[in-house]
Amino acid sequence: MQTKYWVVDNYEEKSKGYPQVKKAAAYLIDNEVVAFPTETVYGLGGNALSEEAALKIFQAKGRPADNPLIVHISSKEQVAEVAAEVPQAAKKLMDAFWPGPLTIIFTKQPNRLAEAVTAGLDTVAVRMPNHPVALALIEAAGLPIAAPSANRSGKPSPTAAKHVYDDLNGRIAGIVDGGETGVGVESTVVDCTGETPVILRPGGITKEDIEAVTGAAMLDVALQDHQARPKSPGMKYTHYAPDAPVYLLEGSPEWIQKQIDKMREQGKKVGLLTTEERLSRFEADVVLPCGQREDLSTVAHSLYEVLRSFNETDVDIIYSETFPSEGVGLAVMNRLEKAAGHRWLREKEDS
C-alpha cells in the first residue's frame, strides 16, 4: 500500500479550507485509515461506524482485538450520535475541558458503532480533540472517528508525523502532518457511567482538575495494582517501550550512578533518561534529558520523543529516573511503568 502524505499548517482559521484535509477526509469516508495530529499524540483514524475501517486500524497497529478505541468528535452535539445518555458529571467535564485532552466513557448507543470499536463492551470512550487540523478533518468527514495512537502496538506513541511514518508507512492510506503535538501523552480517560467519576487513565487533565469540576473522582484500582484488569483503551497491554529494556530507578543520583557503573562494568552500554537539571550529574553511554523536574508537564511533552530517540542508539539497557506521582506526574509515571513493564530498582531495597 502506498501511504499518502499531506502537510498542513495548524492554523485554526485555515484548517477547514485545506484541500489536503478534504482529501484525507475522503479517505475516511471511503473506510480507509488516516493518521492525523491531535494536541496529545498522533491518532490513527477510521470511520467509527464501519467494521471494515475499525478492523483496518487494528491490523495496521497490530492491536489486540479486545482493546477498545476512542471515538473522536468535532462538536459536543455529536455525543448524542454515539452515547445513549450524558450524565450530569459528564456534562460538567465536557463544558470544562472540551475541546481538550479528556476522554469520557459513556453508555453507548445500541446498534450504532462498529462492534470492533468498543471491543464488545456496552460503553464507548469519546473525546473532542483541541487541535484545529483534527477538528477540521472530523468535520469534513462528517463522521465520528475512532482513533488510537498512530504507532505499532507496544511502541512509544507518536508526537510527530515522522514517528507515524517510521511505524506505519505502507500500512495505512495516509498521514496528515500538522506538526509536533503539544501535551505529549494521551488524554485522561474518565468513566462517567457510575455515581462517581473514575479515572481509568491519567493524562494532561489531572485528578485535581477533575475534582475541581465534579467535586469527587476516584482512581481506577488498575492504576495502583498492575495485576488488576484495566478498563480503559490503551491500558491493558505493555506500551510505550523502546527496543532496549527499560528499568525505573528510585534513589539518589549517587546511587543511580552506581547502578550505571555496575552495568557498564559488565560490558553493557547504558542509556539514561534524566532531566535537564541533573544532566551534568551522570555519566553513561547515552544520557538524554527529558524536560524539567520542576515542571513535569515538560517531561510529559518530551517523554515519547526521548524514548524513541534511544532506538537510534546502540544501548543495551535504559535506566530512567522516577518522578512524583502527583498532578501530571501521575501520567508520566504511568507511561514509564508501562514502558518498563513494571521493572523497578529501588535504593531502599538495595542491600
Residue 235 belongs to a domain: no
**Domain end: 189, 223, 257, which one?**
223
89: confidence class by pLDDT, cuts 50, 70, 90: very high
pLDDT score, position 351:
62
Q: β-strands 246-250, 344-346: how paired?
A: parallel
pLDDT score, position 18:
85
Per-residue model confidence as pLDDT tens digits over 122-166: 999 999 999 999 999 999 999 999 999 999 998 999 999 999 999
Question: What does the alpha-carbon distance between residue 29 and residue 180 come to, in Å, rounded to a whole number?
Answer: 26
Domain that holds residue 106: 4-223
CATH number, domain containing residue 160: 3.90.870.10
Whether residues 40 and 144 share a domain: the answer is yes
Whether residues 89 and 197 share a domain: the answer is yes
pLDDT higher than threshold 60 for residue 235: no
Residue 50 belongs to a domain: yes
Residue 230 belongs to a domain: no
Whether residues 91 and 179 share a domain: the answer is yes
Instruction: Enumerate the known binding-site residues for L-threonine.
Output: 40, 72, 127, 147, 187
Question: What does the alpha-carbon distance between residue 323 and residue 296 come to, in Å, rounded to a whole number?
Answer: 8
Whether residues 215 and 324 share a domain: the answer is no
pLDDT higher than threshold 60 for residue 242: yes
Whether residues 251 and 215 share a domain: the answer is no
Residue 76 belongs to a domain: yes
pLDDT higher than threshold 60 for residue 8: yes
Whether residues 265 and 138 share a domain: the answer is no
Q: What is the DSSP letter of 266?
A: T
Query: What is the sign, positive or negative, of the torsion defined by CA atoms of 323, 236, 64, 315?
Result: positive
pLDDT score, position 327:
95
**Domain end: 171, 191, 223, which one?**
223
Instruction: Enumerate the known binding-site residues for ATP.
Output: 63, 67, 123, 149, 157, 201, 240
Does the pTM surpass 0.95? The reply is no
Instruction: Enumerate the known binding-site residues.
Output: 40, 63, 67, 72, 123, 127, 147, 149, 157, 187, 201, 240
Per-residue model confidence as pLDDT tens digits over 213-233: 999 999 998 887 655 555 566
Question: What does the alpha-carbon distance between residue 137 and residue 6 come to, in Å, rounded to a whole number?
Answer: 12
Whether residues 325 and 196 share a domain: the answer is no
Residue 237 belongs to a domain: no
> How far is the CA of 320 from the CAs of 136, 249, 253, in angstroms?
38, 6, 11
Per-residue model confidence as pLDDT tens digits over 186-206: 999 999 999 999 999 999 999
210: left (phi over 0), alpha (psi -120 to 50) or beta: alpha
44: confidence class by pLDDT, cuts 50, 70, 90: very high
Q: At what angle do helices 132-141 and 19-29 cross, to 10 degrees?
A: 50
Whether residues 313 and 176 share a domain: the answer is no
Which three-class secondary structure state does DSSP give residue 221?
helix
Whether residues 285 and 204 share a domain: the answer is no
Whether residues 218 and 261 share a domain: the answer is no
Burial class from Cβ neighbours inside 10 Å (0-12, 13-18, 19+) for residue 66 reads: exposed
Whether residues 149 and 263 share a domain: the answer is no
Question: What does the alpha-carbon distance between residue 105 and residue 125 come to, in Å, rounded to a whole number?
Answer: 4
> Based on the structure, what is the number of domains in the chain?
2
Per-residue model confidence as pLDDT tens digits over 120-131: 999 999 999 999
CATH number, domain containing residue 329: 3.40.50.11030
Q: How many residues does the chain have?
A: 351
Whether residues 134 and 258 share a domain: the answer is no
Among 334, 129, 139, which Cα is nearest to 225's? 334
Residue 306 belongs to a domain: yes
With b for 16 or more beta-carbon neighbours within 10 A and e for fewer, the 296-317 pattern comes to bbbbbbbbbbbbbbbeebebbb
Share of the chain above pLDDT 70, in %: 94
Residue 71 and residue 125 in contact, taking contact as beta carbons nearer than 8 Å = yes
Question: What does the alpha-carbon distance between residue 129 and residue 183 come to, in Å, rounded to a whole number?
Answer: 11
**HSE-up of 242 (CA within 13 Å, CB side)?**
26
